[in-house]
């Protein structure tokens, strides 16, 4: 099967891989690069478990043709820590017990990061909107919303 | 057969590749084509892409706006001159889908999707398509009626007049799930007013037929009248006339017929 | 006025564990040479917190800090048998097995400490911070680390324990149904408030107030996770979910998360919860299990609230806007009941 | 918001504990927020193949012919697996504990009983190639009449869904088509009640919808073993089910799981592991079998629907004197775990209330739909919906406040429950009182003073006279010992039991009956 060479930045590091025609970014990240943080939940665009940032924008990696990220920057949960230190969102999710099975957590965190990168003090409604493409079957969303508000500077005041 | 990806710099070449290969699909934002591939749709074996900048251009400064087929909903939301389209753009998916999904792709999205197209139908948009013999403009209503036959054509852009007054265009998507849910029904109304009278009323509905359709009886009830309670009641009473909704997981045909008038009344009278 | 509010209640109990083939679970606990403990299980953590709650049970029983315990689970080569994670059995069955194993390990640890301190093991106690000392004489103390080193390298003892907890099968009488289906029960009462749109049949949740009796909240945050998420699932079952929207006609089954309806983050409502603890005589520290029963009272409470709001009884789940609207039309309009 | 009401039942607890009761962080939280918690699908193995199944397009059909010849030649296809390739192609999950008969193939051979039933498995180099091969499998179906409604399935002449159970009901205790509950004389009490209310309730099926779909990865390991990464909710259940279906000793497998992306009951059925391991055995390569989302939603087992009829007798003062319940559990085409749900449900009757006359019949019914399985609240959720809606209607009927009505009828310590065990450690009344307080729902002083620990027992502890029924005597009891180990194939059916001493039909005394053991008895000699 013909393969296409593909280079992009993955969490700040240049990577080069060969992909089959039609390979999606989720498969490329997990199976060709070994970054297991984005998860397969549906392959339909309905659950958000595979969410990543492409040039800072929230994208569904399962619906992204891998070769369309050539030369672009892809950020996953694996890249949001600052060295050994957790990102404030990661700490807030932990402090708020905002994960149970943990499977939606990587996508939720990326959706939340996409929000806070643009809007550091969102309202509760803005948080709700930001995570609305991500399905969580365990928590009932409340602790996740609280975690994002807690991580946001000034978020508490506006909630 | 493995999937082949073909990327063209000109939309003409892309259109030619599309029309010559029954197994080819144009990849816009990926929300339809990549999903189909993920789910094992083996009828697709060629993915066609075009890097033509015209496909992602927005011209919105004048009274007529043109939006490239590859423009995402997120870009529409970022464009102040397209404020009248923000409500329909915001009603699509969650943030990630809005960063990916395109105006052109939405024209092909089956029920319960295709909400943005409902707005375009009410706005009497023109769809510019590239065929084998060059590009041509098709009124959106005609485009939708023949949508099943359009899979081999490449949509370049859509264009429409900006509504004269901000409240002349109204849009509402009725979903079970908030803030992001599939459409039970979707309503859009363009009601230009001349003096005190509505002239050229267009009401478009989603999920009330196999494709987005106009509510012509409701339009007739509005045409030439002022938007008062009696007129709104008459339009609401006529809302279901001529529609052909189906049953699906989000609601039954019966339910859709029952509520379309209620929601049209609320939309026109500005109620929540 | 097209929107009406109403409140409804429901109260329930729920059996802990199952009565099928006997209901056992096992656990192994052992210390490494520096006094850190591993719990080996084959139980599954599906998000309910199995690893975390058994860790706390083990630490409490051993008398060591929770950081000194790690739960390793679900490797069939190293984890002893467990029936599985279902039937609200995890906390109760696995928790008891871990307690038994930890008790045995603690016995060895205390004997080893007694040998080092040259006292009788019965005169020793743990301080929960990693030390063992003579009762009433905290200065005569040894760390669990030093005990583990001594046991391993000097005394030749394994600080380890085995535990099993079994609720044996209770035969079911075919005629009368006589049986012992469970050894303890959790309880709950839920008050749900809804708002019903009488023109569209749409139901929105306004708030929930609840009381859950769970034996013992071993970790209140884990309990809260179950109760908040479980009540959300109860709302979801009550108003939204079905893989067969036209049951028993199997057509139009949903294929994705757009067609399979579950409340989104914009559909949730405030939920105020009280937890009561009446310890189960055979529960680990009295615990029962909140994992399943948390959703159950919500469904009928919502249905009863809808009746209170508009006077229609919907006895078929899920309570879709269509069913509500049909019922309202059939009775000639909404009939709000006495506010309460 | 969660509040601990330490003031209630304080005298029964020692709250002076060091770790218990503390809001300690989850052991797995750091893994979750860093995306490093290891789910089954996070293991990439060299040379991994992909397994997909060909699913029935009919709800009920005879399979005239299955032609896989073209698929076998398709590009990238490593192996086609058919029913004949499965060593033991008939199983029922609870056979491990001797409950029920083997009734479900891993791959259908001569008949399909629900739309989506697996018929052929394809192992290929890529998912795309597996999908392409699926399209090349030709299956000739002879459609059969279908039945989708539980009560239609019980009518004479209804299509037989599953020949193992030709009456379309699971068989309890060798002969019964239902699980019964009999306590007192419900018919007589209904005849003298001030009000009688009979209602029908319908629970929907429910999809578990875990964010992680069902799946597994199996790979040949050293020394002839197989390593299996799995999403199962029950590790040894899955190990032993695979050992039985694949006819190898259970220690052939090294199962690794325990970190699962949600289950809710939907990952008990060992849906993917047997074929996944078989694929690895037949190709000598690692194989992955993961459900897509549509597969999970449509063909992953749901919580079964239940139809429930309740007939209650209530007195003007609010006391419920009789409750008669008939429930039909829609098991779909195969048993899976619904058989047990009915037993659990029978034990749950009549809800957390002390009612002196209770009559229950719970049926596990086969229909031509995706087999149902366990889900959060198994056997109870639907019944609680029915009972608690009924309670609301009864309160309305007698003009009582619904909170007070529940407190009045609530079970208390010392009361006799309908399954003939004394109620202990009860707390329903306190829950209702606290919920009322929280919701600012006024209840009268006398109801605020009531207690689960007072006024139970006494006359309420008695087992009422229960009239015998005039149906056929119970057939031969079989005292089976459970072998949790896999039995040899040829002797899987337990030997026929010795004929019992012919026991006359009840009247049953208060003493529990031991002679007629039903589903397995691990502790055959045990007496309560």
Q: Look up residue D107 and give its two tokens.
A: 């791959």
Residues B204 and B242 in one domain: yes
pLDDT at D502: 45
- What is the per-residue pLDDT across A62-116, written as a single tens digit (0 to 9) for each? 999 999 999 999 999 999 998 889 999 999 999 999 999 999 999 999 999 999 9
Contact D41 A101 (CB under 8 A): no
Cα dihedral D24, D28, D34, D35, rounded to 10, equals -150
Residues B69 and B106 in one domain: yes
Given 3-state DSSP classes, what are the helix, strand and coil percentages for chain B, each rounded to the nearest 5?
35, 25, 40
Closest by Cβ to B180, choosing from A58, A67, A133: A133
- The candidate with the shortest Cα–Cα distance to D336, out of D147, D96, D81, is D96
Q: What values do phi and psi take at C203, rounded to 5? A: -115, 125
Q: What's the average model confidence in pLDDT over B46-71?
A: 96
Which residue matches tokens 């591939």? B37
Contact B247 C252 (CB under 8 A): yes
Q: If contacts are CB pairs under 8 Å, which of residues 303-332 in chain D contact chain C?
A: 305, 330
Is the ipTM here above 0.85? yes
- Residue C328 pLDDT grade (very low, low, confident, very high; cuts 50, 70, 90): very high
Mean of per-residue pLDDT scores for chain B? 96
Nearest chain A residue to B30 by CA distance is A63
Residues B123 and B185 in one domain: no
Does D204 reach chain B within 8 Å, measured CB to CB? no
Q: Which residues of B touch C320 (CB under 8 A)?
A: 251
Q: Which residues of C touch B254 (CB under 8 A)?
A: 322
pLDDT at D518: 27
- What is the per-residue pLDDT across D425-467, written as a single tens digit (0 to 9) for each? 999 999 999 999 999 999 999 999 999 999 999 999 999 999 9
Q: At CA D527, angle to CA D522 and CA D528, rounded to 5?
A: 105
For chain D, report the end-to-end CA distance as a whole number of angstroms: 43
pLDDT at C150: 98
In the sheet that holds D179-183, the strands lie side by side as: D179-183, D358-366, D320-332, D306-314, D195-202
The distance of A138 to chain C (nearest Cα, Å) reads 5
Contact D293 A104 (CB under 8 A): no
pLDDT at B150: 75
Residues B40 and B129 in one domain: no
pLDDT at A156: 45
Are the C-beta atoms of residues A143 and A110 closer than 8 Å to each other?
no
The distance of C333 to chain B (nearest Cα, Å) reads 14
Q: Which of B104, B129, B161 is the last residue of a domain?
A: B161
Contact B176 C262 (CB under 8 A): no
Distance CA C74, CA B98 (A): 40
Residue D472 has pLDDT above 90, yes or no: no
Residues B181 and B247 in one domain: yes
Q: Which residues of A touch B99 (CB under 8 A)?
A: 57-59
Q: Which residues of C touch B262 (CB under 8 A)?
A: 199-200
Are the C-beta atoms of residues B27 and B108 closer than 8 Å to each other?
no
The residues pairing with D304 across neighbouring beta strands, listed in sequence order, are none
Closest by Cβ to C267, choosing from B178, B250, B258: B178
CATH number for the domain harbouring residue B260:
3.30.390.50
Q: What's the average model confidence in pLDDT over D170-194?
A: 97
Number of domains chain B is built from: 3
- What is the per-residue pLDDT across A7-55, written as a single tens digit (0 to 9) for each? 999 999 999 999 999 999 999 999 999 999 999 999 999 999 999 999 9
The count of CB pairs under 8 A between chains B and C is: 61
Q: Look up residue C333 and give its two tokens.
A: 């309009």
Are the C-beta atoms of residues D187 and D490 closer than 8 Å to each other?
no
Interface test with A, best of B30, B87, B94, B96 (most A CBs within 10 A): B96
Residues B60 and B111 in one domain: yes
Which region among B17-26, B247-256, D281-290 has the lowest average model confidence (pLDDT)?
B17-26
Distance CA C70, CA C51 (A): 8
> Chain B interface residues facing chain A, Cβ-Cβ under 8 Å?
2-5, 27, 29-31, 34-35, 37-39, 47, 49, 74, 93-97, 99-100, 179-180
Contact B4 A2 (CB under 8 A): yes
Contact C257 A128 (CB under 8 A): no
3-state SS class at B86: helix
pLDDT at C21: 86
Residue D489 has pLDDT above 50, yes or no: no
Please count the residues of chain D.
528
Q: Look up residue D167 and give its two tokens.
A: 């009456």
Q: Which residues of A touch D39 (CB under 8 A)?
A: 39, 103
Residues B153 and B75 in one domain: yes
Nearest chain B residue to C247 by CA distance is B249
Q: Which residues of A touch C271 (CB under 8 A)?
A: 142
Tell me the three-class secondary structure of B121-150, residue by residue. HHCCCEEEEEECCEEEEEEHHHHHHCHHHC
Residues B236 and B171 in one domain: yes
3-state SS class at C132: strand
pLDDT at A1: 55
> What residue numbers bound the domain in which B200 lies?
166-269
Closest by Cβ to B177, choosing from C199, C267, C320: C267
Q: If contacts are CB pairs under 8 Å, which of residues 451-490 in chain D contact chain C?
A: 452, 466, 469, 474, 482, 484
Bond before D178 cis per omega within 30 degrees: no
Mean of per-residue pLDDT scores for chain D? 91
Which burial class, exposed, middle or buried, applies to B228 when counting CB atoms under 10 A from its CB (0-12, 13-18, 19+)? exposed
The residues pairing with C192 across neighbouring beta strands, listed in sequence order, are C8, C208
- The candidate with the shortest Cα–Cα distance to A134, out of A103, A101, A159, A88, is A103
- What is the per-residue pLDDT across C217-271, written as a single tens digit (0 to 9) for each? 999 999 999 999 999 999 999 999 999 999 999 999 999 999 999 999 999 999 9
Does D27 reach chain C within 8 Å, measured CB to CB? yes
Q: Which residues of A touch D30 (CB under 8 A)?
A: 94
User: What percentage of chain A has pLDDT greater than the value 90?
Assistant: 92
Contact C79 D526 (CB under 8 A): no
Closest by Cβ to A21, choosing from B4, B29, B31: B4
- What is the per-residue pLDDT across B130-186, written as a single tens digit (0 to 9) for each? 976 788 999 999 999 988 877 778 999 999 999 998 899 999 999 999 999 999 999
Distance CA C61, CA C29 (A): 11
In chain D, what is the greatest distance between 2 CA atoms, to the nearest angstrom?
80
Contact B258 C266 (CB under 8 A): no
Which region among B15-19, B117-121, D515-519 has the lowest average model confidence (pLDDT)?
D515-519
- The candidate with the shortest Cα–Cα distance to C67, out of C52, C48, C77, is C52
Does D127 reach chain B within 8 Å, measured CB to CB? yes
Residues B180 and B254 in one domain: yes
In the sheet that holds D49-55, the strands lie side by side as: D77-81, D118-124, D49-55, D287-290, D215-220, D226-230, D253-256
- Residue C1 pLDDT grade (very low, low, confident, very high; cuts 50, 70, 90): low
Please count the residues of chain A.
159
CA of residue C53 relative to chain centroid, distance: 10
Interface test with A, best of C52, C228, C265, C272 (most A CBs within 10 A): C265
Q: At CA C196, angle to CA C190 and CA C198, rounded to 5?
A: 150
In the sheet that holds C160-167, the strands lie side by side as: C69-73, C37-41, C23-31, C160-167
Contact C52 D24 (CB under 8 A): yes
pLDDT at D506: 40
The distance of B2 to chain A (nearest Cα, Å) reads 7
Q: Which of B97, B132, B161 is the last residue of a domain?
A: B161
Does B42 reach chain D within 8 Å, measured CB to CB? yes
Residues B257 and B186 in one domain: yes
Interface test with B, best of D124, D132, D213, D297 (most B CBs within 10 A): D132
Closest by Cβ to D262, choosing from A34, A78, A138: A138
Query: Buried b / exposed e across A101-120, counting CB within 10 Å, b at 16+?
Result: bbbbbbbbbbbbbbbbeeee
CATH number for the domain harbouring residue B77:
3.30.465.10
- What is the per-residue pLDDT across C31-57, written as a single tens digit (0 to 9) for each? 999 999 999 999 999 999 999 999 999
pLDDT at D520: 28
Query: Buried b / exposed e across B27-44, counting CB within 10 Å, b at 16+?
Result: bbbbbbbbbebbbbebeb
Contact B262 C200 (CB under 8 A): yes
Q: Identify the H or E element spanning B8.
A: strand B4-8
- The candidate with the shortest Cα–Cα distance to A61, out of A104, A28, A22, is A28
The distance of B38 to chain D (nearest Cα, Å) reads 9
> Chain C interface residues facing chain B, Cβ-Cβ under 8 Å?
199-201, 240, 245-246, 251-254, 258-267, 320-322, 325
Closest by Cβ to A64, choosing from B30, B47, B179: B30
Residues B218 and B203 in one domain: yes
Residue D493 has pLDDT above 80, yes or no: no
pLDDT at A83: 87
Q: At CA C269, angle to CA C12 and CA D26, rounded to 5?
A: 75
- Residue D153: CB partners within 8 Å, gap ≥ 6? D147, D161, D168, D365, D366, D367
Residue D527 has pLDDT above 80, yes or no: no
- Residue C340 pLDDT grade (very low, low, confident, very high; cuts 50, 70, 90): confident
Nearest chain B residue to A45 by CA distance is B31
Contact D293 A41 (CB under 8 A): yes
Closest by Cβ to B42, choosing from D135, D292, D294: D135
pLDDT at B272: 84
Distance CA B34, CA B23 (A): 14
Contact B35 A58 (CB under 8 A): no
Residue D517 has pLDDT above 60, yes or no: no
Distance CA C147, CA C124 (A): 13
Closest by Cβ to B39, choosing from D75, D132, D292: D292
Residues B173 and B250 in one domain: yes
Q: In this structure, how many other beta carbons lie within 10 angstroms of the beta carbon of residue A88?
A: 16
Contact A64 B100 (CB under 8 A): yes
Contact D127 B1 (CB under 8 A): no
């Amino acid at each position: 099967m013909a393969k296409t060479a593909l280079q992009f930045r993955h969490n700040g590091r240049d990577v080069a891989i060969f992909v089959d025609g039609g390979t999606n970014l989720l498969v490329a990240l997990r199976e060709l690069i070994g970054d297991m943080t984005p998860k397969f939940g549906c392959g339909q665009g309905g659950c958000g478990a595979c969410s990543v940032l492409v040039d800072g924008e929230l994208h569904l990696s399962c619906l992204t043709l891998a070769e369309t990220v050539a030369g672009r920057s892809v950020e996953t949960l694996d890249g949001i820590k600052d060295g050994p230190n957790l990102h404030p969102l990661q700490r807030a999710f932990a402090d708020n017990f905002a994960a149970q099975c943990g499977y939606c957590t990587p996508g939720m965190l990326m959706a939340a990061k996409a929000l806070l990168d643009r809007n550091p003090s969102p309202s509760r409604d803005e948080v709700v909107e930001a995570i609305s493409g991500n399905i969580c079957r365990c928590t009932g969303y409340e602790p996740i919303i609280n975690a994002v508000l807690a991580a946001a500077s000034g978020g508490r005041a506006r909630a | 057969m493995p999937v082949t990806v073909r990327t063209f710099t000109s939309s003409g070449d892309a259109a030619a590749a599309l029309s010559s290969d029954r197994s080819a699909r144009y990849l816009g934002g990926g929300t339809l084509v990549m999903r189909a591939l993920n789910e094992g749709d083996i009828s697709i074996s060629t993915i066609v892409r075009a890097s033509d900048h015209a496909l992602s251009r927005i011209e919105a400064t004048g009274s007529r706006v043109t939006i490239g087929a590859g423009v995402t909903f997120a870009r529409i939301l970022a464009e102040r001159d397209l404020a009248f389209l923000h409500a329909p753009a915001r009603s699509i998916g969650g943030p990630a889908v809005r960063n990916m999904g395109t105006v052109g792709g939405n024209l092909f999205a089956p029920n319960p999707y295709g909400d943005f197209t409902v707005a375009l139908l009410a706005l009497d948009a023109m769809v510019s398509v590239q065929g084998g013999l060059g590009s041509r403009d098709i009124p959106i209503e005609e485009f939708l009626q023949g949508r099943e036959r359009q899979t081999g054509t490449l949509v370049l852009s859509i264009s429409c007049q900006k509504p004269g007054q901000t409240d002349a265009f109204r849009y509402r998507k009725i979903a079970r799930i908030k803030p992001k849910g599939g459409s039970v029904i979707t309503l859009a109304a363009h009601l230009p007013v001349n003096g005190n009278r509505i002239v050229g009323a267009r009401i478009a509905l989603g999920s009330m037929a196999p494709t987005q359709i106009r509510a012509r009886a409701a339009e007739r009830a509005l045409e030439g009248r002022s938007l008062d309670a009696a007129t709104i009641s008459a339009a609401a009473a006529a809302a279901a006339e001529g529609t052909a909704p189906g049953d699906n997981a989000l609601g039954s045909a019966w339910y859709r017929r029952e509520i379309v008038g209620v929601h049209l009344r609320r939309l026109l009278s500005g109620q929540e | 006025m097209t929107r009406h509010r109403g409140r409804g209640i429901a109260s329930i109990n729920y059996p802990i564990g199952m009565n099928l083939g006997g209901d056992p679970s096992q656990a192994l606990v052992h210390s490494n040479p520096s006094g850190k403990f591993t719990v080996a299980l084959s139980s599954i953590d599906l998000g309910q917190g199995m690893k975390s709650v058994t860790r706390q049970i083990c630490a409490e029983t051993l008398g060591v800090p929770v950081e000194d315990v790690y739960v390793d689970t679900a490797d069939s080569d190293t984890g002893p048998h467990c029936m599985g994670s279902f039937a609200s059995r995890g906390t109760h069955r696995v928790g008891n097995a871990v307690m038994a194993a930890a008790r045995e390990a603690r016995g060895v640890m205390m004997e080893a400490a007694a040998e080092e301190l040259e006292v009788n093991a019965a005169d020793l106690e743990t301080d929960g911070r990693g030390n063992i000392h003579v009762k009433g004489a905290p200065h005569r103390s040894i760390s669990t680390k030093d005990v583990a080193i001594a046991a391993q390298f000097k005394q030749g003892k394994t600080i380890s324990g085995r535990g099993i907890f079994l609720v044996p099968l209770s035969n079911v009488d075919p005629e009368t149904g006589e049986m012992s289906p469970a050894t303890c029960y959790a309880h709950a009462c839920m008050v749900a408030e809804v708002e019903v749109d009488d023109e569209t049949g749409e139901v929105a949740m306004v708030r929930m107030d609840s009381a859950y009796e769970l034996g013992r909240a071993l970790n209140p945050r884990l309990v809260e996770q179950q109760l908040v998420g479980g009540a959300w699932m109860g709302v979801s079952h009550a108003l939204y979910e079905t893989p067969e929207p036209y049951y028993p006609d199997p057509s139009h089954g949903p294929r994705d998360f757009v067609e399979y309806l579950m409340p989104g983050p914009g559909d949730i409502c405030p939920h105020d919860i009280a937890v009561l603890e009446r310890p189960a005589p055979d529960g680990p520290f009295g615990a029962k299990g909140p994992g399943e029963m948390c959703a159950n009272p919500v469904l009928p409470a919502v249905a009863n609230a809808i009746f209170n709001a508009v006077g229609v009884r919907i006895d078929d789940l899920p309570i879709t806007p269509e069913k509500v609207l049909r019922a309202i039309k059939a009775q000639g309009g909404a009939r709000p009941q006495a506010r309460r | 918001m969660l509040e601990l009401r330490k003031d209630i039942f304080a005298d029964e607890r020692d709250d002076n504990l060091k770790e218990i009761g503390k809001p300690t962080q989850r052991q797995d939280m750091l893994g979750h927020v860093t995306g490093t918690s290891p789910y089954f699908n996070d293991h990439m193995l060299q040379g991994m193949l992909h397994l997909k199944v060909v699913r029935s397009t009919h709800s009920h059909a005879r399979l005239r012919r299955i032609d896989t010849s073209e698929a076998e030649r398709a590009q990238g296809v490593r192996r086609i697996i058919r029913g004949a390739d499965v060593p033991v192609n008939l199983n029922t999950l609870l056979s491990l504990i001797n409950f029920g008969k083997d009734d479900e193939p891993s791959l259908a051979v001569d008949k399909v009983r629900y739309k989506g039933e697996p018929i052929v498995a394809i192992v290929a180099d890529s998912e795309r190639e597996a999908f392409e091969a699926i399209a090349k499998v030709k299956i000739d179906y002879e459609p059969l009449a279908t039945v989708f409604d539980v009560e239609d399935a019980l009518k004479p002449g209804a299509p037989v869904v599953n020949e193992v159970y030709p009456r379309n009901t699971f068989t309890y205790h060798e002969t019964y088509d239902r699980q019964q509950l009999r306590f007192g004389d419900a018919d007589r009490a209904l005849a003298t009640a001030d009000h009688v209310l009979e209602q029908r309730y319908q629970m929907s099926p429910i999809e578990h919808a875990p964010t992680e779909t069902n799946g597994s990865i199996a790979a040949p390991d050293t020394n002839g073993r197989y390593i299996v990464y799995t999403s199962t909710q029950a590790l040894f259940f899955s190990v032993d089910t695979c050992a039985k279906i694949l006819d190898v000793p259970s220690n052939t497998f090294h199962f690794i799981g325990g970190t699962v992306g949600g289950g809710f009951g939907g990952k008990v059925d060992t849906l993917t592991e047997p074929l996944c391991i078989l694929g690895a055995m037949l190709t000598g390569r690692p194989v992955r079998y993961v459900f897509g989302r549509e597969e999970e939603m449509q063909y992953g087992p749901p919580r079964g629907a239940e139809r429930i009829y309740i007939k209650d007798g209530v007195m003007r003062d609010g006391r419920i004197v009789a409750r008669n319940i008939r429930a039909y559990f829609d098991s779909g085409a195969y048993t899976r775990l619904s058989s047990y749900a009915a037993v659990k449900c029978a034990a749950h009757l009549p809800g957390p209330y002390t009612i002196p006359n209770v009559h229950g019949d719970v049926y596990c019914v086969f229909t031509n739909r995706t087999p149902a399985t366990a889900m959060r609240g198994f056997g109870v959720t639907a019944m609680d919906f029915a009972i608690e809606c009924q309670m609301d209607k009864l309160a309305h009927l007698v003009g009582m406040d619904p909170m007070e009505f529940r407190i009045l009828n609530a079970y208390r310590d010392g009361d006799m429950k309908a399954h003939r065990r004394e109620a202990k450690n009860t707390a329903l009344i306190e829950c209702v009182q606290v919920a009322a307080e929280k919701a600012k729902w006024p209840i009268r002083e006398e109801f605020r003073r009531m207690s689960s620990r007072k006024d139970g027992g006494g006359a309420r502890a008695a087992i009422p006279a229960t009239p015998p029924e005039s149906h056929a005597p119970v057939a031969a009891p079989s005292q089976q010992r459970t072998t949790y180990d896999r039995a040899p194939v040829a002797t899987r059916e337990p030997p026929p039991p010795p004929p019992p001493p012919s026991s006359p039909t009840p009247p049953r005394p208060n003493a529990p009956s031991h002679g007629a053991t039903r589903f397995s008895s691990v502790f055959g000699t045990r007496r309560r």
